[in-house]
Every structure is written in structure tokens, then in C-alpha cells.
Structure 1
Amino acid sequence: MTTTKERNVIQQQFKERMNEDELMNCMRCGFCLPTCPTYIESGFQEAHSPRGRIALMKAVVDGLIEPDEDVERTLNMCLGCRACEPVCPSGVNYGHLLEEARDIIQKNKKHSLPVRLLRKAVFEELFPHPHRMRTITGLISFYQRSGLQRVVRNTGLLNLLPAQLKEMEKILPKVPTLKEMKHRPNHLPAQGKTKRRVAFFSGCLMDTMFMETNDATMKLLQLAGCEIVIPPQQTCCGALHGHSGEKNQAKELAKRNIEAFEGLNVDYIITNAGGCGAFLIEYDHLLKDDPDWAARAKAFTEKIKDISAILVELDFHKKGLKLPSQVVTYQDSCHLRNVMKTASAPRILLQSIEGIEFREMKEADRCCGSAGIYNIVEPEMSMQILDYKMEQVKETKATTIVTANPGCLLQMKLGIEREGLSDRVRAVHIVELLLEAADASGFTADQQ
């Protein structure tokens, strides 16, 4: 609970830091309402809509209401999917407003000791340090490979966990060993003629827990004719920090990444996680007020490109890929679609595979409820959103659900588990399905 003193400081910070022109850009037209999952799932409560949240921010700036727990709760209930932005006739940058408001509240709110310790451990001591990420992930690998997982499941120890974490344990990917995570490439040649020289943003969770997805991504890039540079100095993109009110930490991570990729003489910086890519492509906004970094950040963001976009650019969809007959549907990554503006490329690639019947699900662009760690901190709303999403999946009768973001992938796997469909439906990252098709087709660089 915030004190009166804390609320006064927060209110003053809102007046000083919130972009009032951006707040005033909202015309209250309501075009955003049908796109907002929390507005719909809350029973059409105005406070849980984008324009409602903007109105609350503006009211705090104007001193009409105090930034109390109800305001904080309303802002935290937002998924941050940014589906409201493409439909806004005024072009309101809602995501920027939300991140600024959350940062102001977190910086000036006194947390309990356990919360302070947890936030410090996650935001300062874990994610910015790749070797620590590997160590922690290595413990998960040991848990899976040593037989401990089987013992824990058979003895019912999982029942001691909150229901949401118990369900998440079931759908964890097979994690590589610590040794495998330590031996990662820094450079890979193109297979066949070199068409592009690219850098690869390997990420933190993506290069540990989802290492197989990164490997598939790099293999596809090689097959498409890309020479790949993977700078070892890169670190976490900072998205988790930026979305959770740790903006200063996000800025430091951004600077480290910009330094790591500068001077590589590459055509693009490739990402394979919608959430990471969307945060990377907005480093210029994050550092716009820093005269030493603004131009460098702009140069960095201009090179960010999703893996699906470069594959289409290099005509990978014209390679005659094949797979056994199956029905496939695609779940958009919110940030890939709404921030990186990449929606058609994944569909072009999927529809090009012979043997696939592609069926567009209803509201494929609506958030699945993962939203970073939202499904952990707001499990009730997250599961409401997921349940609706799975109804749309079942309507397609798809046997394969394709995603382009690790959080979405885990969320869809969780949905499959909750619906009892694990014996007949699978969820995969798009690069894994494409590599599967390339391998099944005997695709080689000679076919380019």
C-alpha cells in the first residue's frame, strides 16, 4: 500500500514525465475497445480499456485523482499487447505511455522486503548476466535429465506449487545441458552463395531454454544464404525490465547491446522472438533523451528484422518445401505484429509448404494471454484469455499451432494441455516447422 507521501511524489512525477501531448492525442473515439482483451474479458469495464487507462493517467497528471492502488492495479492488468495502436486514428503511442507510468510508480513505491529482494534478483542479478542465466537454466536441465523430475511428479510434490506454476512445469521445453549452452558459435558461414551478412540477436532465454529454436534459426539463415555474426558481448534485450517499471536497467542493457552490434558491418540484425524484437526496434525511443546514445540507438534500430521477414526477402518460400499432410494455424505474436509490423511474412512462409493446409483462426491477432510474465502474475485473466484463444484454435481443427515468440509458444502448449489435446495437437515455433520442412524436402544450399 502506498503512503500519502509516495502518492504525492508519484503524482508530481506524472506531471513532469508523462507526455501530455500524447495523452491529449487520445480522442476517446473507442476504436481501441474491440481490440483490447482485458476490456472484453473484464465484462467491458472502461477502466480496463486503452482509452480508460489513458484517461486515468491524464487524471493523475491533472491532479483529479490520486495514483493509488486502484490506478496501479488497472495499469498492471494491461497485457501491453499494443493491439490498440494500429487501429488508433490519432496514432497514440499507448505502449510508451504505459511503460512510463509503470516506471514512475515502481521507482517511487516502497515495496516489501521480499518483493525488493525478488525484483533485485531477477532484474539486476539474473537477466543482465548471460553466465548466470546459463547456470540457472542448467539446473532445470539437471532436473529434467537426472530423474528428479519423474520423482517430483510421481510423489505429488508438484501439488505444493501454485496451480499456475504446476501447469507451467508440464510444458517446459527440453532444456540443453550447461555444457551445450556454454559452447555457442560466434560466426557461421552461408551455405552456398552469400546473399546477406547478418548479425543474430541470440537473447537470454532464447539461447538457453529455447536454444534449439536459436539453432534452427541460424540453420535457416545459412540455408537462405546468410553469413552470420553472433557477438558474444550481447545481453538481454531489456523488455522484461522496460515493461515492469525498471526503465533505467532497460537503458543500460540497450547500451550494452548497441555497443555489441556496432561496427559489425552487417545488413541486418535478425531476431526470432517477437517480444525481444519489438523492444530492440524501439531502442531509439528508449534513449531519445540521451544525446550520447540517441543517434547510435537510431542506427541500431534501423537494422532490426524478424527472421520471417528476411526469409521472405530471400525467397525462401519459393524453395519447394514439403511436409506430411497436416492442418496448420498461426497465432500472431502481438509485438511482432503490432510493433514490428510483421504479419504477412510468417503466413507467406507457412502457405508455401506443400502438404500443409493453412487455416486462419478467428482473431489470430488477439493476444494469447502470455505477455511476458503476465500469465504468472495475473493468472486468472491470462487463463480467461487463453480459454477464448483455444476455442478459436479448435474451430480450425488444426493439428499444428505455429507461433513466433517463446512466450506465445509456451502459452499455446499450456492451452493444449488444459484442453486435453496433447495427443493430437502440437505447438511449434515457425523456424522449427520451416527447418522440419527443409529437412523433409532434402533442401540444400545448391537449390538456391
Structure 2
Amino acid sequence: MTANKVQQQFRERLNEDELLNCMRCGFCLPSCPTYIESGYQETHSPRGRIALMKAVVDDMIELDDEVERSFNLCLGCRACEPVCPSGVKYGHLLEDVRDVIQQNKQHSLPIQTIRHTVFKSLFPHKNRLRKVTGLLGFYQRSGLQTITRKIGFLKLFPKSLVAMEKVLPQVPEMKKMKNRPEFLSSKGEKKKRVAFFSGCLMDTLFLDTNNATMKLLQFAGCEIVIPKAQTCCGALHGHSGEKEHAKQLAKQNIEAFENLQIDYIITNAGGCSGFLIEYDHLLKNEPEWQKRAKAFTTKLKDISEILIDLQFHNTYELSLAEQTVTYQDSCHLKNVMKTTNSPRQLLQSIQGIHYQEMQDADHCCGSAGIYNIVEAEMSMKILDSKMKNCLLTKATTIVTANPGCLLQMKLGVEREGLSHQIRVVHIADLLLEALNEQD
């Protein structure tokens, strides 16, 4: 990286008002997982990172490996934002910093290849993602998974990847991933016409959860449009320094949803919704697109919110076998979408469950997209702390609202050796189970 060029881009890209709004009060510190798990190192806190950003802008320091490391170690959970008295949009600053770094970084050829494959050749293309997911399904169903585990082949891979392999869901058959609906009528009286954001991994690896979500919407009285032209939300790109490509994906999604004559756009993945809701900020420098993005964002609702609005929990008698349930907040669903009460209200409406709130349920679980792969050590420290609080609830069911959180919490249960005692489920799957129980 050229120091002068990076510094100039920091000055041009970072919002100086946001940098100056940070009062260094420290209210963010107890909310920051990396600050706590690093042994209270100031450079691994939100205010510390903002100070580093300001120091680079003011030419007081260079963006060396140590400074870059501080930015990379951040989860981007944005738990610092709700507690900030000045309302600093730390997440926006972090995205711009990472974008500047990546656009000026000379990656090795293998890293270049991986980034190009993931960000440009795979996630934006549903057919390719289906094929890759299909290969994983073949691995699971053909017996290869059993063989590789028995012969110890997986020991050649990093421990984090080996652990993740154990908790991956069973991949649906290819024909199920291909035959996706574009329209579903409501069950009974139509109350709303909605569009469903199906996502990329959600519509492949977590296909059953998407199907459960759409069934719940139908029972709630929603007519559903599922636009075929939609694509990846761009969150992975935006958080990883590929902002221009995230903008392309945002524009494609806006075009796919903007002429459908709908009341809402429904999401069921906190990580996706937290990025979708800020499309207007992402496209702030393109006035025409920003206006269209604003119209898009005003229609977004999480599945839990619309179910509460349409009184789904009061219309149907939801029941399950007796069990203790706790809820792990999705960081972006809580900190960006501001959705906290609806999931809990739905869970507490299910007969047969004892709902037990988890201490620090709103603290990050350490998943954060691909963070648990690229920053495995810190991720596992955060997960271990999360599991301590989880086990205190004595819950036999952990509920999440985001696929990354789901896998991370399953990994935590696996690491504790409690897979036979505790299950981890998406809230949509649990609600459909509770609805079906009455039949």
C-alpha cells in the first residue's frame, strides 16, 4: 500500500463528522466483544478504532499491519451504536475503511483467486451457488462424509473448518433447490401482499427455513411474490471491502422488487436485513439510486415483525412439547433493524415452552459472516463466553434468527459435547413446528 494514497482516500471516504462525533466516553466498551476478549485492549474497541482512523486521516500514524489488524479483528456487530450517546455510525466508518484497505492491498495470487471466486463468481450467481451446494449434498449423501471422517482426512484441515463441517445442515436435493416458487397465495383471507427476499445461502443451504418462512406468511394471510431476478444482498461484499460490487447487487435487488405493488419486503436472515435496510446509505452518492433505495428500505420487515402485526400468534394455537427455550439475538437484526421484542413475543406465545432470557443475549456469538473462519481464535473465545451464558439458562432449545448465528451456536453446542441434549433452530422452523403440532 502507498501511505500517501491510503491517507488521501481515508480523508475522502471517511465522514469527518462521524469521526469527530465520537466523544471517547467509553459507553461502547462493555458492548464490544473484541475489547473484552482481548483483555481490554483499547485498540480493539470502537473508540480505539475510531481514534486510529482519525490518526490516519490527520497523518499522525501510517496504516501499518498493526493498525490494519485492529480493523480486521472487529466483528462489525455494531453493538456499539445503540449505546453511543452521540449516535456515531461506526459500521459505516468500518465499511469504508475496509474498502479503502482492500482496494489498495496487493494480495497474493491465491488470495486474489479466492476473493474473485467468492465475491464475483459465486455468491451473485444463484445457479453456480446451487451447483456448489449440490456438491456438498453429494458429499453428505454418497457416503463420502462418513468415509472422510473415519479415515481422519479432515485432520488435514484447520480445526475451525473441521468443526464447521460437523454442524452443517443436510443439503436439499438439487431438484428442490431449482424448483422454487415465484408466487404463493394466502391461506384464507388475504390481508397483505408481500415480497419475500429469499437470499443466496438461505435459498440453498437453508432451503427448509425459507420454505417454513413462506408457509408462516401464507397462514398469516399473506399473498407472496418471490421475484426471480433478486440476488445476494451484498452484505458479505460490503463488510469485506468489496463495496462497488455490493452496490451492483443492491441495484439489481432494487430493480427486482420496486414494481411489484407490494406492502412489504419480508426477510428472515438478520445479516441480510441489516445490510438491505441501508441500501440508501450504500448508494448515497448516486441521487437517483438513493431515492429508489429509500423506497426499497421503507418496505423491509423481518418475518417476526409481520407475524406480530398480523396477529399470527393470536390467530393460531401454537404448542410444543415441554421444553426450555432461550433466544440469541442476531446482531444486525437488533442493532440495525431494531427488531428485538417481536421474536421474543412469538416464542412466549407458544404453549408448552418455558422461555428463559439469556444474559447478554444481544452480544455477538462470534459468527459475523466468515469471521469464524478467518478469525477463528477470537471467534471461539467469544463463542465460549456466549455458551457460558447459554448453559446458565438450562435451555434445551436455542432459537436464532440468522443462518450464521445458527451454525455458530450449533458449533458451540458441539464444542460443549451437548448435541444430544440441546438443539439450535431458526425461529421460523420452530414456529412452523408449533403450528403443525396442533394438527
For residues 428 and 246 of structure 1, the distance between their equivalents in structure 2, rounded to whole angstroms, comes to 31
For residues 189 and 424 of structure 1, the distance between their equivalents in structure 2, rounded to whole angstroms, comes to 38
Gaps of 5+ in 2: none
Report the alpha carbon displacement of residue 348 of structure 1 after superposing the two structures with TM: 0.1
Supply the AA of the counterpart residue of 2:429. E
Counterpart pick for 1:370 among 367, 372, 377: 367
Of stretches 35-44 and 6-15 in structure 1, the one that deviates more from structure 2 is 6-15
Report the alpha carbon displacement of residue 320 of structure 1 after superposing the two structures with TM: 2.1
Runs of 4+ more than 3 Å apart = none
* Equivalence for 1:101: 97
Q: Secondary structure at the match of 1:72?
A: helix
* Equivalence for 1:329: 326
Report the alpha carbon displacement of residue 36 of structure 1 after superposing the two structures with TM: 0.3
For residues 338 and 428 of structure 2, the distance between their equivalents in structure 1, rounded to whole angstroms, comes to 18
TM-score (norm 2): 0.99
Q: How many residues align structurally? A: 438
* Equivalence for 1:432: 429
Counterpart pick for 1:41 among 34, 37, 40: 37
For residues 320 and 126 of structure 1, the distance between their equivalents in structure 2, rounded to whole angstroms, comes to 42
Counterpart pick for 1:422 among 419, 423, 433: 419
Q: Secondary structure at the match of 1:29?
A: coil
* Equivalence for 1:445: none
For residues 178 and 108 of structure 2, the distance between their equivalents in structure 1, rounded to whole angstroms, comes to 36
Report the alpha carbon displacement of residue 291 of structure 1 after superposing the two structures with TM: 2.2
- Please tell me whether residue 18 in structure 1 is matched to residue 14 in structure 2: yes
For residues 54 and 97 of structure 2, the distance between their equivalents in structure 1, rounded to whole angstroms, comes to 11
For residues 214 and 48 of structure 2, the distance between their equivalents in structure 1, rounded to whole angstroms, comes to 43
- The alignment's C-alpha RMSD in Å is 0.6
TM-score (norm 1): 0.97
* Equivalence for 1:383: 380
1:153-173 deviation per Cα after TM superposition (whole angstroms, max 9, x unaligned):
111111111111000000000
- Please tell me whether residue 123 in structure 1 is matched to residue 126 in structure 2: no
Equivalent residues in 2 for 1:51-200, closer than 5 Å:
51-200=47-196
For residues 390 and 86 of structure 1, the distance between their equivalents in structure 2, rounded to whole angstroms, comes to 24
- Please tell me whether residue 346 in structure 1 is matched to residue 343 in structure 2: yes
Q: Secondary structure at the match of 1:192?
A: coil
Supply the AA of the counterpart residue of 2:282. L
For residues 101 and 7 of structure 2, the distance between their equivalents in structure 1, rounded to whole angstroms, comes to 9
Q: Secondary structure at the match of 1:441?
A: coil
1:61-98 deviation per Cα after TM superposition (whole angstroms, max 9, x unaligned):
00000011111110010000000000000000000000
Q: Secondary structure at the match of 1:326?
A: strand
Supply the AA of the counterpart residue of 1:176. P
- Please tell me whether residue 204 in structure 1 is matched to residue 172 in structure 2: no
Q: Secondary structure at the match of 1:136?
A: helix
- Identity fraction in percent: 70
Counterpart pick for 2:254 among 254, 258, 270: 258
Equivalent residues in 2 for 1:244-255, closer than 5 Å:
244-255=240-251
Supply the AA of the counterpart residue of 1:353. I
For residues 183 and 44 of structure 1, the distance between their equivalents in structure 2, rounded to whole angstroms, comes to 50
Q: Secondary structure at the match of 1:87?
A: coil
For residues 390 and 60 of structure 1, the distance between their equivalents in structure 2, rounded to whole angstroms, comes to 37
Gaps of 5+ in 1: 443-448
* Equivalence for 1:411: 408
Report the alpha carbon displacement of residue 441 of structure 1 after superposing the two structures with TM: 1.4
Report the alpha carbon displacement of residue 382 of structure 1 after superposing the two structures with TM: 0.2
For residues 231 and 140 of structure 1, the distance between their equivalents in structure 2, rounded to whole angstroms, comes to 26
For residues 64 and 326 of structure 1, the distance between their equivalents in structure 2, rounded to whole angstroms, comes to 56
Supply the AA of the counterpart residue of 2:405. C
For residues 341 and 316 of structure 1, the distance between their equivalents in structure 2, rounded to whole angstroms, comes to 21
For residues 107 and 201 of structure 2, the distance between their equivalents in structure 1, rounded to whole angstroms, comes to 27
